[in-house]
Amino acid sequence: MHPAFSVIFLTTLIGVGQGLFIAVFTAEYFNWIGLLNVEVDPMFYIIGGLVSLVFMAGGLLASFFHLGHPERAWRAASQWRTSWLSREVIALPAFMAIEFLYVLAHYLQFNEPTTIIIGIVGVIATFALFICTGMIYACLSFLREWASPLTIINFILFGLASGFIFATAYSAYANPAFVQTFGWFAVAFTVVVFITRSLSLSRNQKLKQKPKTTTQTAIGSHHTQVTQRSQGQMGGSYNTREFFHGKTEMFLKNMRGIFMVLVFPVPMILMGLGLSAGNPNLLLAAFVIQYVGLIAERWYFFAQVNHPQNLYYQTVS
Amino acid sequence: MTQLALVIDLNVCVGCHACVTSCKQWNTSGDAGPLPDDNPYGANPTGVFFNRVQTYEVGKFPNTETIHFPKSCLHCEDAPCVPVCPTGASYKRKEDGIVLVDYDKCIGCKYCSWACPYGAREFDEHDKVMKKCTLCVDRIYDQNLPETERKPACVMACPPGARLFGDIHDPDSEVSSAIREQGGFALMPELGTQPSNHYLPRHKRKIPIHEDELVRVDSPLAKEEKKDYDEGSASLEDSASW
């Protein structure tokens, strides 16, 4: 597939936003049930929630650049019965609305059970959104690289990891009492997603060796030697632009190497240094580097998919 | 229930692209507006086509065979492009099973094209909507056309008649009997999309000819002597044996 930057930014930005909201609410919830005992200014939740909303809005804005007719985007909410994309179109603003209520409740200094209830509803909405985003890709059964529960798990864990790293950096500036909690959560999520993403990478590697759909099934000629000699066009078309990444195998491998380094070890080292030294700048650097890595990760997520339609576009002439 | 579809005989298709050009001509001239052609006379012409003819080589040289392979939307019975559409622009008609895009509802998210394993959908970069074969829905029901012409443009154009059009749910239709009797097959059956369009397989045709059939028993040449003409002035008519 040809990776679209609009979708790369959409999925990475809302991932950070969702993870950050869960982090901020985790802080409040742990305080409420007594796991933590931290003096908190409501501004901590308000700013945390607002920053998360900015990430969400950034993702939403990016998604519009993917559309040919953004002015008709409202129509996309209509087919929620069948389309995961439609469900995401509903879940994203719904989560933003609940998050806004959460911020508003803190701004109006509501008592704790109210903000906790809104927060729990928000967490449910966050996971609903994660599942919708993941299912958009996982539901396409013949795009086998995506059609796996790992796709959804990775979306959730990447969102949580990047959101919690941001929350760690944020609390280092705003309320250092939360730094250790957020930090260890962030490390745990990053370690787990390293495992699950590695699993999906090795799964996809194995898929290559056993293709389900071949040129033979594509044209119904089951000879062992079938070669395309012409694709019926010389200058390319949507089919050759949308479904090929247009880069070399080497480029793809390098991209995988880059994201495996930028998303996992580098931020972990910076987190370790930042947490032990209590240096907010190192924590912020960990977030920025991981986010850059996530852009590469998402690029690879799209590029590695070998769409079955490509079987019809192997040779120009 | 009706399911209109094309049945393409790969044994007859000669790869002339007449279906491609007539499809383009018809569908670029309709109410839905033109199909783009960018850079048509340049080095890299590109545009939207609903139908393309591809060519495959089967076997190992020198024992190879050529398959010309026309490819358009297969109007799947379980079309994977339809349920994924977030706006309902992509739909399958109940009355005749044609899969269509409502260009006024399409937001151009391209998700349906990702969901189509056949690459049957092409995005119009000018109108910013997804386009695809309509099975000439604006032609096959046109009461102003003579009944014999109420067929898709590609079917009308095919010189050797490799393309059949009809209702594959009607067991007595021309297409159904062709599928049944000539081993019609679907593309990528393993994906479960149940394509409505079918293809009739290539097979080797052999006409048994016995030696006595090569020489006409009543050949006039056998009875009459071979005429001796001046090679320089003799025309076709002079040498004809009537």
pLDDT along chain A (317 residues), means of 10: 96 98 96 90 96 98 96 96 97 98 95 93 98 97 96 98 97 94 96 98 93 94 93 93 94 96 97 92 97 98 96 89
Evaluated on CA atoms B84, B90, B95, B98, the torsion sign reads negative
Write out chain A residues lying below 8 Å of B113, CB-based. Answer: 238, 242
Q: Are B36 and B26 in contact (CB under 8 A)?
A: no
Q: Tens digit of pLDDT for each residue in B16-72? A: 999 999 999 999 998 889 999 999 999 899 999 999 999 999 999 999 999 999 999
DSSP letters spanning A230-253: E-S-SS--HHHHHS---S-HHHHH
* Domains of chain B by residue range: 4-200
pLDDT at A8: 97
Q: Are B97 and B137 in contact (CB under 8 A)?
A: no
Interchain CB distance below 8 Å, B46 and A237: yes
Residues 147-176 of B with CB under 8 A from A: none
Write out chain B residues lying below 8 Å of A83, CB-based. Answer: 83-86, 111
Instruction: Count Cβ atoms within 10 A of the Cβ of residue A246 and give its class: 0-12 exposed, 13-18 middle, 19 or more buried.
Output: exposed
Can you give the pTM of this predicted structure? 0.91
Please report the number of interchain residue pairs, chain A to chain B, with beta-carbon separation below 8 angstroms: 176
Question: With b meaning 16 or more CB within 10 Å and e meaning fewer, what string describes A268-282?
Answer: bebbeebbeeeebeb
Instruction: Catalogue all structural domains in chain A, each as residue range(s) with its CATH number.
Output: 5-208+228-312 (1.20.1630.10)
Residues for chain B: how many in total? 242
pLDDT at B239: 58
Tell me the three state secondary structure of residue A193: helix
Interchain CB distance below 8 Å, B52 and A219: no
State the pLDDT confidence band at B207, using cuts at 50, 70 and 90.
confident
pLDDT at B205: 80
Tell me which H or E stretch contains B129: strand B129-131
Tell me the three state secondary structure of residue A64: helix
Average pLDDT of chain B is 91
Residues 6+ apart with CB under 8 A from B86: A75, A76, A77, A78, A79, A83, A85, A86, A89, B107, B109, B111
pLDDT at B203: 86
pLDDT at A169: 96
pLDDT at B229: 60
- Please state the φ and ψ torsions of residue A68, each to the nearest 5 degrees: -75, -35
B66, closest residue in chain A (CA to CA) = A229
Tell me the three state secondary structure of residue B28: helix
CA distance B136 to A295: 43
Q: Are A217 and B188 in contact (CB under 8 A)?
A: yes
Is the ipTM of this structure higher than 0.85?
yes
The distance of B190 to chain A (nearest Cα, Å) reads: 7
pLDDT at A124: 98
CA distance A55 to A237: 35
**Side-chain-facing half-sphere of B60: CA atoms under 13 Å:** 2
Can you name the CATH fold of B4-200?
Answer: Alpha-Beta Plaits (3.30.70)
State the pLDDT confidence band at B211, using cuts at 50, 70 and 90.
confident
Tokens encoding B162: 């490799």
Query: From residue B18, how far is each of A149, A233, B21, B175, B221 by CA, in Å?
Result: 46, 14, 5, 21, 42
Q: Which residues pair with B58 in a beta bridge?
A: A226, B65
**What percentage of chain B carries pLDDT values higher than 70?**
88
Residues for chain A: how many in total? 317
| Whether the predicted pLDDT of B123 surpasses 80 | yes
Residues 41-100 of B with CB under 8 A from A: 42-49, 52-60, 66-67, 69, 71, 80, 82-89
Write out chain B residues lying below 8 Å of A78, CB-based. Answer: 86-88
Q: What beta strand segments (E) does B73-111 contain?
A: 90-92, 99-101
Q: Are B89 and B109 in contact (CB under 8 A)?
A: no
- Provide the residue type at A98 as one letter: I
B39, closest residue in chain A (CA to CA) = A235
CA distance A86 to A6: 17
